[in-house]
Amino acid sequence: MKYLSRVFWLAIGCTFLFPLYWMITMSLKSKSEAYNNQFGIPYSWDWINYSEALSKYHFFVYFENSLIYTIGTIAITLTTGSMLAYCLSRMQWRFNSAALLYVSLGLIVPIEVVLIPLFQLIKWLHLKDSYWGLILPYSGFAIASCVLMLFAFLRSLPKELEEAACIDGTNVYQTFFRIIFPIVTPALMTQCVLLFMRIWNEFPLAFIIASKDQFRPLTVGLLSFFVSVGVSDWGLIGATMVLSSLPMIIVYMIGNEKIENALTAGAILK
Amino acid sequence: MNKYYSTKVSIFVFSAPALILFSVFCVYPLLPEIWMSLNNHDGFRNLGFVGLDNYKDILASASFWTAHKNTYLIVGISVFLGLPLSLMFALFMDVQTPKLRRFFKTSAMLPAILSVTVVAEMWISFYEPTYGLFNSILRSIGLEAWTHSWLTEKNTVMPSIGLTFLWQYIGLNAMLFYTGIKTIPKNYYEAALIDGASFTQVCLRITIPLLQDVTKYVLILSALGSMAFYSQVRVMTAGGPGDLSRTVIYQMYYVAFETSEFGKGTAIAVVFILECLFISFLIQRFVAREKLEF
């Protein structure tokens, strides 16, 4: 029984790894081999798909866009979010708890249900077909979870350091950027990882807002490329898939443990 | 100390950017959403106030109900199949040797970090009727009669998409459960061991009850996540055949952007927001219990 369950879960574990195998082998097969030998190991390694993919598929444009969207969102969300969290945890004002409640509303509304008015808003603000058109809404939607997590982190932090800084005559802005910011870095890193995974792979909003090819991120660019190729050339599709997944897989291999910790920190705090 | 922190200027400087960003892009769109749903709107102009007509129209359309059926099928799959499976996976992972656990942890997370487009496109090739993986396997073991054109047949299209979704997120959920298991103090298990409890007993009596916080988190995550199910459908079938694999978000998107009836699209969205609120209320009400302290 124990043996049987181990075999079962090992098989499941292998199915999770199967896409990697499938993508890589597929990308090395010629057009006809992709049909005759869809799941086996390629007879001969054929790198032509990659050169074709790089010439037809605007990988570097999409990659750069994804990078801009992701880094822009992370920068804006973490700066504004940590400032608000600091304000809510340390400063005394009348609407303190109301603001916290207000921000936590953001956890209930999924971005998909306001797709239509958001589209209109971005058109109205003339942000469509610019990088801000995605960065700003992404940040707006990411702020809720960022603030709540950092708030929980900051509340548990003793105030002595700041008191000392105050006595030394720094003002509150210096205290925040020089003292608090470095201390909350672990929590910020967690948020960074979560945001990276979310924004890098975001699809619905990007599909609608980034309609011009030069602004498309990888997820959307990949889909339009699939549509243009059709299902005739799996080798080429495999190569573009490997190219598009490569950045994420490299990040995952380097930051594997950090990503796990980040995801699970999210689970325990909420 | 309070004076030091809380001048009017510093409060404003620290709170305003985030609050403005959040209000403009996350909360504000709800207002025009409600207003548009009461008007005849084609995406460019407002063609007049129509009251609740949009709501009557969408409730009378068959596609709206197909979309609901599909969405709740996905929610059902991810909650009633996905959660128990990932919990079992996590329990199993806990009793493995460190090396094997490393393998499971790394491999299980992989599908969740790949982009939706890549995963969906890959499964399109698995479901492909002539050369695809599933039909090839079925043919080779002599079950020719069971082969299907998975993504274009009425009865198989939604379960097929559901399986893809299940596969992509099961590992991630298992990881969340697994960290929950790690936070349970060891002495509970030692006590159970002395009393001679079996593995199943320990799981049922100790681990699962003590995991309720994590369970709730994963439940909310997967229930609301699958309510907003859209991307996989977009890539795998584009809602087809006909309207048979549209989900609610897809239907909303379709009505607004492909038939230019923004009024009706927003009406669908408003109804759906209420459903999302109701679902999260249900979970909060019936799953939340007293906070556990170890």
Which of B 245-264 lie inside 8 A of A, CB atoms? 249, 252-253, 256-257, 262
A130-152 mean pLDDT: 89
Q: First CA to last CA across chain A, in angstroms?
A: 37
Q: Is B204 at the interface with chain A, CB within 8 A?
A: no
How far is CA B92 from each of CA A57, A247, B100, B219, B256, rounded to the nearest angstrom? 42, 31, 11, 20, 46
How would residue A135 be classed by pLDDT, with cut points 50, 70 and 90? very high
- Cα–Cα distance measured from residue B152 to residue B137, given in angstroms and rounded to the nearest whole number: 19
- Rounded to the nearest angstrom, the gap between the alpha carbon of residue A7 and the centroid of all alpha carbons in its chain is 34
How many other C-beta atoms can be found within 10 angstroms of the C-beta atom of residue B155?
10
Contact A16 B111 (CB under 8 A): yes
Tokens standing for residue A99: 């603001």
Residue A163: predicted pLDDT: 79
Q: What per-residue confidence (pLDDT) applies to B290?
A: 53
Cβ atoms of residues A217 and A210 within 8 Å: yes
| Cα A70–Cα A191–Cα A71 angle in degrees, nearest 5 | 15
More confident residue, B63 or A165: B63
Query: Is the pLDDT confidence value at A258 over 80?
Result: no
Cβ–Cβ contact B73 with A under 8 A: no
* Pick among A2, A16, A108 to test the B interface (most B CBs inside 10 A): A16
Q: How far is A201 from chain B (nearest CA, A)?
A: 5
With an 8 Å Cβ cutoff, is B150 touching chain A?
A: no
Strand partners for B49? B39
Whose CA is closest to B74, among B216, B215, B218, B233?
B233
**Three-class SS state of B47:** strand
Tokens of B98: 């460190």
Residue B129: cis peptide before it, omega within 30 degrees of 0: no
The β-bridge partners of B41 are B46
Sign of CA dihedral A194, B224, A132, B111: positive
Residue A270's pLDDT is what? 46
**What does A166-227 look like in DSSP terms, one character per residue?**
HHTT--HHHIIIIIIHHHTHHHHHHHHHHHHHHHHT--HHHHHH--SGGG--HHHHHHHHHH
Buried b or exposed e, range A174-206, using 16+ CB within 10 angstroms:
ebbeeebbeebeebbbbbbbbbbbbbbbbbbbb
Whole-angstrom Cα distance, residue B36 to residue B154?
Answer: 34
Nearest residue on chain B to A147, alpha-carbon basis: B18
3-state secondary structure of B39: strand
Structure tokens at B27: 């909360």
Q: Which portions of chain B are predicted below pLDDT 70?
A: 1-6, 288-294
Q: Is A130's pLDDT higher than 60? A: yes
Q: What does the pLDDT average to over A110-130? A: 87
Per the CB < 8 A criterion, the answer to whether B132 and B125 are in contact is yes
CA distance B229 to chain A (A): 9
What mean pLDDT comes out for the span A129-138?
90
Rounded CA-CA distance B9/B12 in Å is: 5
Q: What are B39's strand-pairing partners?
A: B49
Q: Give the distance from residue B273's alpha carbon to the nearest chain A alpha carbon, in angstroms.
A: 7
**Per-residue pLDDT at A161:** 76
How wide is the angle at C-alpha B283 spanned by C-alphas B277 and B286, nearest 5°? 130
Q: Would you say residue A191 has pLDDT above 50? A: yes
Residue type, position A193, single letter: V
How large is the average pLDDT for residues A182-191?
83
A residues 94-133 lying closer than 8 A (beta carbon) to B? 99, 102-103, 105-106, 108-118, 120-121
Nearest 10 degrees: CA dihedral of A116, A118, A120, A126? -150
Name the strand (E) or helix (H) holding B193.
Answer: helix B186-194
Q: How far is B225 from chain A (nearest CA, A)?
A: 8
A 155-214 residues inside an 8 A Cβ radius of B:
159, 163, 166, 172-173, 176, 197, 200-201, 203-204, 207-208
Q: Which residue in A76, A79, A86, A113 has the most chain B C-beta atoms within 10 A of its own C-beta, making it the best mutation to test that interface? A: A113
Q: Please give the share of chain A, as a percent, with pLDDT higher than 90.
A: 11
The per-residue pLDDT for A128 is 83
Interchain contact, B113 vs A222, CB within 8 Å: no
Q: How far is CA B36 from the centre of its chain?
A: 27
Whether ipTM exceeds 0.90? no
By the 8 A CB rule, do A51 and A110 touch? no
Quote the crossing angle between the two packed helices A185-200 and A132-155, to the nearest 10°: 150
Chain A interface test: which of B1, B2, B4 (most A C-beta within 10 Å):
B4
Write the pLDDT tens digit of every residue in B79-124: 999 999 999 888 888 888 888 888 888 888 888 888 888 899 888 8
Residue A268 banded pLDDT, cuts 50, 70, 90: low
Task: Give ∠ CA A113-A118-A122 in degrees, rounded to 5.
Answer: 165
To the nearest whole angstrom, how far is the Cα of B252 from the nearest Cα of chain A?
8
pLDDT at B71: 92
Provide φ and ψ at B57, rounded to 5°. Answer: -60, -45
Find the angle CA(A100)-CA(A106)-CA(A109) to the nearest 5 degrees: 150
**Alpha carbon distance B62, B284 (integer Å):** 32
Contacts with B125 from chain A: Cβ below 8 Å: 22, 26, 38, 231, 234
